[in-house]
C-alpha cells in the first residue's frame, strides 16, 4: 500500500477514514458525533440505509423508557378470570392477540397471562375449563425501566409481554417484545394488523397537496398528472431527499420539476410529509 498522503485514496476518502479512526480512538465523544460518523459512512456507501436505520434505532432504545412506547391501560384487552369460556374465546377471536392479562376482582389484580393456544385443549370440553390452571406468570415492570434493559430481560427470561405498573402498584400499561423491536427495525406488521391502506395524498384548497413521503412516484404521477421517473427511486420521499442532497428538516423547500416540495413533517431519521405546490410560472 502507498502511505504517501498524496496517494490515489483522495482527500475526501482519507478524511473520512481519519474521522473513523478518531471515532474508535477512545477519545471523549458524544452520541451526536457517533451518529454523524455513521451517517457519513452510509453516505460513503460503507453502510446500507437499512443498517443505518437499525443502528440509530438501537441507540434510540437506550434513551427511551417503557412509558414512552407502552400500550396504555385503556387500550389493553384484559380478561376477567370469572368470564365463561365462550366469552373468552370471543375476545380472543375479535382481538387477534395471542396473549392476554387475566385479572381478578379489578383490573389491578393481575393473576397471570393467558396464551390463546392454551385454550385449544378445551374445545368441546368447556365443562372442565379452569382458567387459573393454565395461566402463565405475569411480569410486572416499572414505567421508568429503560427499553434496552427490558429487551435484555425479555431475552433472558424468554417472556414476550410485561405489565407496566405505576408508583402505586396499579396497572398503567402493557408492553411486548414487538413494541421494543419496532423502535429498532420499524413497524412490524403481522396477519392481524389492519390491512387497509392509508391515504397517502390529501388534496388541499388552492391546488396544493399534503403528500406522505411513502407515496409511490407512480401514484403521485397519476394523481397530479406529473411525469417523474421511478426508475431510480420508488417513493416521493426518496426522490426529493436525493434532490436536497441531505436529510432535510421541517421548513426546508426545494423545486423538483413542476412542483415545490415543502417539508412539513420530519424526524432525525427520515422525511415524513411534504406540502406540494405547483411551481409559480416565471415571467
One digit per residue, the tens of pLDDT, for the chain of length 283 reads 444 444 444 444 445 556 556 555 544 367 777 778 777 777 777 777 777 778 777 777 788 889 888 988 888 889 999 988 888 888 888 888 889 999 999 989 999 999 988 888 887 666 778 899 999 999 999 999 999 899 888 888 888 899 999 988 899 999 998 888 888 777 665 544 454 557 899 988 888 999 999 999 999 999 999 999 988 888 899 899 989 988 889 999 999 999 999 999 988 778 899 999 998 876 5
Q: Are 260 and 277 in contact (CB under 8 A)?
A: yes
Q: Are 129 and 83 in contact (CB under 8 A)?
A: no
- Helices and strands, number each (H, E), in the chain: 9, 12
* DSSP 8-state class, residue 161: E
Length of the chain equals 283
Cell of 100: 392476554
Q: Are 163 and 76 in contact (CB under 8 A)?
A: no
Closest CA to 164 of 148, 184, 147: 147
Cell of 130: 379452569
Residues 6+ apart with CB under 8 A from 84: 126
What are the φ/ψ torsions at residue 206 (nearest 5 degrees)?
90, 5
Q: In angstroms, rounded to a whole number, what is the distance separating the alpha carbons of residues 222 and 220?
A: 5
* DSSP 8-state class, residue 136: B
Helix (H, G, I), strand (E, B) or coil at 80: strand
Beta-bridge mates of residue 110: 103
Closest CA to 38 of 29, 28, 48: 48
Q: Are 225 and 207 in contact (CB under 8 A)?
A: no
Q: How far is CA 50 from the centre of its chain?
A: 13
Task: Tell me, yes or no, if the pTM score tops 0.85.
Answer: no
Cell of 13: 476518502
Amino acid at each position: 500500500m502507498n502511505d504517501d498522503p498524496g496517494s490515489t485514496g483522495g482527500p475526501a476518502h482519507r478524511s473520512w477514514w481519519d474521522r473513523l479512526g478518531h471515532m474508535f480512538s477512545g477519545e471523549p465523544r458524544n452520541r451526536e458525533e457517533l451518529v454523524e460518523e455513521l451517517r457519513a459512512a452510509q453516505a460513503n456507501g460503507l453502510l446500507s440505509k437499512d443498517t443505518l436505520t437499525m443502528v440509530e434505532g438501537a441507540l434510540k432504545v437506550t434513551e427511551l423508557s417503557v412509558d414512552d412506547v407502552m400500550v396504555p391501560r385503556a387500550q389493553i384487552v384484559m380478561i376477567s378470570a370469572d368470564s365463561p369460556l365462550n366469552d373468552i374465546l370471543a375476545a380472543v377471536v375479535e382481538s387477534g392477540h395471542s396473549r392476554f392479562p387475566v385479572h381478578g376482582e379489578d383490573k389491578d389484580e393481575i393473576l397471570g397471562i393467558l396464551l390463546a393456544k392454551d385454550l385449544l385443549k378445551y374445545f368441546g370440553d368447556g365443562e372442565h375449563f379452569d382458567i387459573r390452571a393454565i395461566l402463565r406468570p405475569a411480569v410486572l415492570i416499572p414505567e421508568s425501566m429503560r427499553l434496552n434493559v427490558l429487551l435484555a430481560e425479555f431475552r433472558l427470561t424468554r417472556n414476550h409481554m410485561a405489565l407496566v405498573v405505576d408508583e402505586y402498584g396499579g396497572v398503567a400499561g402493557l408492553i411486548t417484545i414487538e413494541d421494543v423491536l419496532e423502535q429498532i427495525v420499524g413497524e412490524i406488521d403481522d396477519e392481524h394488523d389492519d390491512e387497509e391502506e392509508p391515504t397517502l395524498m390529501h388534496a388541499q384548497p388552492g391546488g396544493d397537496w399534503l403528500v406522505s413521503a411513502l407515496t409511490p412516484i407512480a401514484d403521485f404521477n397519476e394523481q397530479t398528472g406529473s411525469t417523474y421517473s421511478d426508475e431510480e427511486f420508488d417513493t416521493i420521499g426518496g426522490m426529493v431527499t436525493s434532490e436536497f442532497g441531505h436529510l432535510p428538516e421541517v421548513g426546508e423547500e426545494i423545486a423538483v420539476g413542476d412542483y415545490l416540495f415543502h417539508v412539513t413533517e420530519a424526524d432525525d431519521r427520515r422525511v415524513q410529509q411534504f406540502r406540494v405546490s405547483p411551481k409559480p410560472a416565471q415571467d
